[in-house]
Chain A
């Protein structure tokens, strides 16, 4: 038998070892020299706080009572972890991007940083967890008692309350020391987590060792063990489908919602990739924890005297077999299970109590001015007090309940309490429509029903709720009986409470959400949570550690506007000698940016914003949102002004354009009139002069005839000019009548060449043609198209200044369109004039003037438009080149 003193000594040494581990890890972690600490193994082991003393001792007892049903508690978490891609991955990512400190913070943050929600979740969690902490204290006390009673000469019998007190004080001390050591805002506790991991190994090794002893020491191996199971009262068991489904679901919900699980799973997570390892390694851990539960139960029932508490078989079996070493190991395993749960639970709960209850109270009790930069010390103090308070609550509960057997059921009751957070949590991360009001309604409804139908009755009849109320309902209303709500009788009380609390919780949450409208912060947070994988979409983007130039750019764009911010960043990057728009966030650049931003939002705000992005001062998202809202309002106002002034500018510009057009038209009209005048006066001059000469008589007949010929020619020229003008006017007013017919393109070009040869007949042109291409029949108005060719060829004859002039006519057909290029080898038309040549009287310069009235190309353009085609100048052809395009088959209707 192990003397009790030695047991205490081993215990103290073990605790001292944990202290040492936590201390060393904290010290090395500060030196950043512990890569293995950041391994997925430590993460997975730390998750094992799911297996408390309730698992370590209680699972065997549970198996004795209900067979395999105990496994439901571990199958639910297995499904959650195996399905990590659904929920856990998102929770961890949100926890990282939003710097979530607890599950209460998650809910509060998701629903617009509502502290009321934080308080509600905190209260639910504390209420649910307190009996659970008491349960751990009880298990340690009981296990001490087991040793003490078996130690015949073991000195004084330990007082249960005193043992529990010492354990509680020790745990509180440890938790305060290592749970509130960190002075930075980071909520991770590497030392604690590592100590928890050590404890996880101890409890696994202990339970497996007892199991191996049972299977291979007491029984003759697995086959014999199976035979023993078949022979034992446990050879058959009863599966209650309601409880089977309900408990798997409940344990799955609990692993997500228990504050301590959230702490190790999300808050203490250092690397998202660890989750993937934990997805199989944590179920494996649970698997191993469960593997030997039934053999131990069977062996205990076989070998131990009837009436022995099955909840302590793990401990009493080795003791009864005289295996003191194994018993000691089992004791340490149970001790580890209890202590690790209390430590993590009190850290998690204390964070919640401190952040959502103590700090808000403290801040509201002090004048706003007095809040200096030294808030952090207050935070630590409040957190330490909260830890002590949580452990003290657990101890008080243990004392008050008298360590009764009623505690045994508290594990599942606590699970149902924690599960009330599930609708608000899942709704919050998957449904943008979830609102604060909905979450409050759901949580209060669920928690109320849970307390009324399960938690309070669990204290025993007449403890809180009278036996009369239990059987008859409040005021005799039968359908309000706590364990038969709405007249549903005969249901397992736990499943009954879980069913109604979660159904009504979810209903209230959903109804409240769809009936209310979320505030701005809530909507931003909702988007940031639900779309956490779509990159930084919201104000959440500012709340990041290291500043990247990109974050700063996003921030700046919100304040300065996209183009301006980008230009500023590009200029800064250029000054740093970097290509691209992102400069390095050097102090110089940050200073410049801050100055720039302060122009928009004021210096203090700009500083706070940059500090926030760079990772410094604690400015809440709400503050930033408020500023952003104000800025947005100002910008909206100025945008409205801008829109108005833009409207004015646009109107002014339109007026100006109209005016310019009028002026241009007026100038064109003047110029047109002046041109017409010129074109009319020129022949008129000759006519008048020669008429006067003729009127004087007194000249030879041939001289007179010669002068009359000139008069005649000039009169014809005048007529032609007037015809052209009339023609153009008709074409421009679209009043042209087309005479369509099928004609040979070759014929038209032949005709045009012959007619155009009358222009400056003295010039001999070399003509290049391709008869093969010209062999096309075209449906068009032949006379008008030919007129266009005549004009083009005449122009070439008039203006081509080459000493050996050449003319090339190229025909091509593309689809339903025909292109005819008329190209000479002259100087071409300068680029700046190319746009003008189709205007009326647009003879380029006086120097190119030769006879015509300058209406030719204008008429060509009008004709081609009427023919459904176009005419364009072709640059880069080594001379003046025009391209005439027209449809192969012109439709008459067109």
Chain B
């Protein structure tokens, strides 16, 4: 029976949390893709790769991964104690 005043399907909080878990799972895959990306860039003919721009790209990706992980981390743990093992199923 649907109780009045409650949303259909999952409640909002568990739903948000599940999506955050999805994001946390996808993050390293996404990161690995970005970190392997420089392999596809062909260096200019007859020269080596440009250290400056490659380094900038790598550090930016790195910083981005850290930032996203930072955003995801608190909500994942905060609720884990209320919902042990949740999202694993």
Once the chains bind, are A236 and B31 in contact (CB under 8 Å)? no
Once the chains bind, are B39 and A241 in contact (CB under 8 Å)? yes
Would you call B14 an interface residue if the criterion is a C-beta within 8 Å of the partner chain's C-beta atoms?
Answer: no
DSSP class of B's interface residues: helix, strand, loop or mixed? helix
Measured between beta carbons, the chain B residues less than 8 angstroms from A84 are: 24
Cα–Cα, bound, A284→B68 (Å):
12
Of B32, B49, B74, B88, the residue contacting A239 (CB under 8 A) is B49
Measured between beta carbons, the chain B residues less than 8 angstroms from A78 are: 31, 62, 65-66
Interface residues of B in 35-57 (CB under 8 A from A): 35-36, 38-39, 43, 47-52, 54-55
Would you call A79 an interface residue if the criterion is a C-beta within 8 Å of the partner chain's C-beta atoms?
Answer: yes
> Residue among B21, B25, B54 with the most chain A CB within 10 A?
B54
Of B28, B52, B63, B84, the residue contacting A79 (CB under 8 A) is B28
Interface residues of A in 43-79 (CB under 8 A from B): 67-68, 71, 75, 78-79
Measured between beta carbons, the chain B residues less than 8 angstroms from A230 are: 51-52
Measured between beta carbons, the chain B residues less than 8 angstroms from A165 are: none
Would you call B59 an interface residue if the criterion is a C-beta within 8 Å of the partner chain's C-beta atoms?
Answer: yes
Of A75, A226, A239, the residue contacting B39 (CB under 8 A) is A239
Would you call A874 an interface residue if the criterion is a C-beta within 8 Å of the partner chain's C-beta atoms?
Answer: no
Once the chains bind, are A226 and B25 in contact (CB under 8 Å)? no
> Residue among A75, A229, A248 with the most chain B CB within 10 A?
A75
Chain B, residues 67-89, CB within 8 Å of chain A (1/0): the string is: 11110011011001100110010
Measured between beta carbons, the chain A residues less than 8 angstroms from B73 are: 276-277, 279-280
Of A71, A82, A237, A277, the residue contacting B27 (CB under 8 A) is A82
Once the chains bind, are A279 and B69 in contact (CB under 8 Å)? yes
Once the chains bind, are A276 and B77 in contact (CB under 8 Å)? yes
Measured between beta carbons, the chain B residues less than 8 angstroms from A287 are: 59, 62-63, 66
Cα–Cα, bound, A83→B31 (Å):
9
Closest Cβ–Cβ distance, residue B63 to chain A (whole Å)? 7
Measured between beta carbons, the chain B residues less than 8 angstroms from A82 are: 27-28, 31, 65-66, 68-69
Closest Cβ–Cβ distance, residue A379 to chain B (whole Å)? 33
Asked if A85 meets B21 with Cβ closer than 8 Å, knowing A237-B54, A535-B85, the reply is yes
Would you call A578 an interface residue if the criterion is a C-beta within 8 Å of the partner chain's C-beta atoms?
Answer: no
Measured between beta carbons, the chain A residues less than 8 angstroms from B66 are: 78, 82, 280, 283-284, 287
Once the chains bind, are A86 and B25 in contact (CB under 8 Å)? yes
Once the chains bind, are B85 and A83 in contact (CB under 8 Å)? no
From A532, which residue of chain B is reached at the shortest CB distance? B85
Would you call A19 an interface residue if the criterion is a C-beta within 8 Å of the partner chain's C-beta atoms?
Answer: no
> Residue among A83, A84, A238 with the most chain B CB within 10 A?
A83
Measured between beta carbons, the chain A residues less than 8 angstroms from B50 are: 235-236
Cα–Cα, bound, A59→B63 (Å):
19
Measured between beta carbons, the chain A residues less than 8 angstroms from B69 are: 81-82, 279-280, 283
From B73, which residue of chain A is reached at the shortest CB distance? A276
Once the chains bind, are B77 and A71 in contact (CB under 8 Å)? no
| Number of B residues with CB within 8 Å of any CB on chain A | 40
Measured between beta carbons, the chain B residues less than 8 angstroms from A8 are: none
From B40, which residue of chain A is reached at the shortest CB distance? A241
Of A80, A83, A226, A239, the residue contacting B38 (CB under 8 A) is A239
Closest Cβ–Cβ distance, residue B22 to chain A (whole Å)? 9
Once the chains bind, are B32 and A79 in contact (CB under 8 Å)? yes
Would you call A799 an interface residue if the criterion is a C-beta within 8 Å of the partner chain's C-beta atoms?
Answer: no
Once the chains bind, are B59 and A67 in contact (CB under 8 Å)? no
From B27, which residue of chain A is reached at the shortest CB distance? A82
Measured between beta carbons, the chain B residues less than 8 angstroms from A68 are: 51, 54-55, 58
Would you call A696 an interface residue if the criterion is a C-beta within 8 Å of the partner chain's C-beta atoms?
Answer: no
Closest Cβ–Cβ distance, residue A256 to chain B (whole Å)? 13
Chain A, residues 245-287, CB within 8 Å of chain B (1/0): the string is: 1001000000000000000000000001101110110011001
Measured between beta carbons, the chain B residues less than 8 angstroms from A495 are: none
Once the chains bind, are A229 and B49 in contact (CB under 8 Å)? no
Closest Cβ–Cβ distance, residue A261 to chain B (whole Å)? 17
Once the chains bind, are B51 and A234 in contact (CB under 8 Å)? yes
Measured between beta carbons, the chain B residues less than 8 angstroms from A272 are: 77, 80
Cα–Cα, bound, A213→B3 (Å):
65
From B69, which residue of chain A is reached at the shortest CB distance? A280
From B63, which residue of chain A is reached at the shortest CB distance? A287
Would you call A294 an interface residue if the criterion is a C-beta within 8 Å of the partner chain's C-beta atoms?
Answer: yes
Cα–Cα, bound, A280→B28 (Å):
12
Cα–Cα, bound, A291→B85 (Å):
37
Measured between beta carbons, the chain B residues less than 8 angstroms from A229 are: 51-52
Once the chains bind, are A236 and B62 in contact (CB under 8 Å)? no
From A277, which residue of chain B is reached at the shortest CB distance? B73
Would you call A777 an interface residue if the criterion is a C-beta within 8 Å of the partner chain's C-beta atoms?
Answer: no
Once the chains bind, are B59 and A237 in contact (CB under 8 Å)? no
Closest Cβ–Cβ distance, residue A878 to chain B (whole Å)? 36
Once the chains bind, are B36 and A80 in contact (CB under 8 Å)? no
Closest Cβ–Cβ distance, residue B35 to chain A (whole Å)? 5
Once the chains bind, are A85 and B43 in contact (CB under 8 Å)? no
Cα–Cα, bound, A67→B63 (Å):
19
Would you call A672 an interface residue if the criterion is a C-beta within 8 Å of the partner chain's C-beta atoms?
Answer: no
Cα–Cα, bound, A237→B47 (Å):
9
Measured between beta carbons, the chain A residues less than 8 angstroms from B59 are: 287, 291
Closest Cβ–Cβ distance, residue B39 to chain A (whole Å)? 4
Asked if A226 meets B52 with Cβ closer than 8 Å, knowing A85-B24, A85-B76, A283-B62, the reply is yes
Interface residues of A in 423-476 (CB under 8 A from B): none
Interface residues of A in 394-423 (CB under 8 A from B): none
Closest Cβ–Cβ distance, residue B33 to chain A (whole Å)? 10
Once the chains bind, are B49 and A80 in contact (CB under 8 Å)? no
Measured between beta carbons, the chain B residues less than 8 angstroms from A86 are: 25, 28
Would you call A534 an interface residue if the criterion is a C-beta within 8 Å of the partner chain's C-beta atoms?
Answer: yes
Once the chains bind, are A294 and B51 in contact (CB under 8 Å)? yes
Closest Cβ–Cβ distance, residue A291 to chain B (whole Å)? 7
Cα–Cα, bound, A235→B24 (Å):
36
Once the chains bind, are B58 and A83 in contact (CB under 8 Å)? no
Of B48, B62, B67, B84, the residue contacting A237 (CB under 8 A) is B48
From A533, which residue of chain B is reached at the shortest CB distance? B85
Contacts A82-B28, A275-B77, A284-B66 known; list 16 others, CB within 8 Å.
A68-B51, A75-B35, A79-B28, A83-B24, A83-B25, A86-B28, A229-B51, A236-B43, A236-B49, A244-B36, A276-B74, A276-B77, A279-B73, A280-B69, A287-B63, A291-B59
Q: List 23 A-B contacts (CB under 8 A).
A: A67-B51, A68-B51, A68-B55, A78-B65, A85-B76, A229-B52, A230-B52, A236-B47, A236-B49, A237-B54, A239-B54, A241-B39, A244-B39, A248-B35, A273-B77, A276-B73, A279-B69, A279-B73, A280-B67, A280-B73, A284-B66, A533-B85, A533-B88
Interface residues in chain B, defined as those with a beta carbon under 8 Å from any beta carbon in chain A: 21, 24-25, 27-29, 31-32, 35-36, 38-39, 43, 47-52, 54-55, 58-59, 62-63, 65-70, 73-74, 76-77, 80-81, 84-85, 88
Interface residues in chain A, defined as those with a beta carbon under 8 Å from any beta carbon in chain B: 67-68, 71, 75, 78-86, 226, 229-230, 234-239, 241, 244-245, 248, 272-273, 275-277, 279-280, 283-284, 287, 291, 294, 533-535
List the 7 shortest-distance A-B pairs measured between CB atoms, nearest first. Answer: A236-B48, A83-B28, A533-B85, A280-B69, A280-B70, A276-B73, A276-B77
